[in-house]
Amino acid sequence: MQEAAGRNRGSLQLRHVDAGSCNGCELEITSMSSPVYDVERFGIRLEASPRHVDGLLVTGPVTRNMADPLRRTFEAVPQPRVVVAVGDCALDCGVFAGAYGVQGSVCDVMPVDLAIPGCPPHPATIISALRGLAGT
Residues near ligand SF4 (CB under 6 A) are 21-22, 24-25, 59-60, 87-89, 94-95, 119-120
Pick the closer one to ligand SF4 by CB: 54 or 88: 88
Shortest distance (Å) from residue 9 CB to ligand SF4? 29
Q: Is the peptide bond before 120 cis (omega within 30 degrees of 0)?
A: yes
Residue 121 makes CB contacts below 8 A (sequence gap 6+) with 25, 28, 86, 87
Pick the closer one to ligand SF4 by CB: 2 or 26: 26
Shortest distance (Å) from residue 124 CB to ligand SF4? 16
Phi, psi of 109 (to 5 degrees): -110, -30
Pick the closer one to ligand SF4 by CB: 4 or 22: 22
Residue 80 burial (C-beta neighbours within 10 Å; 0-12, 13-18, 19+): middle
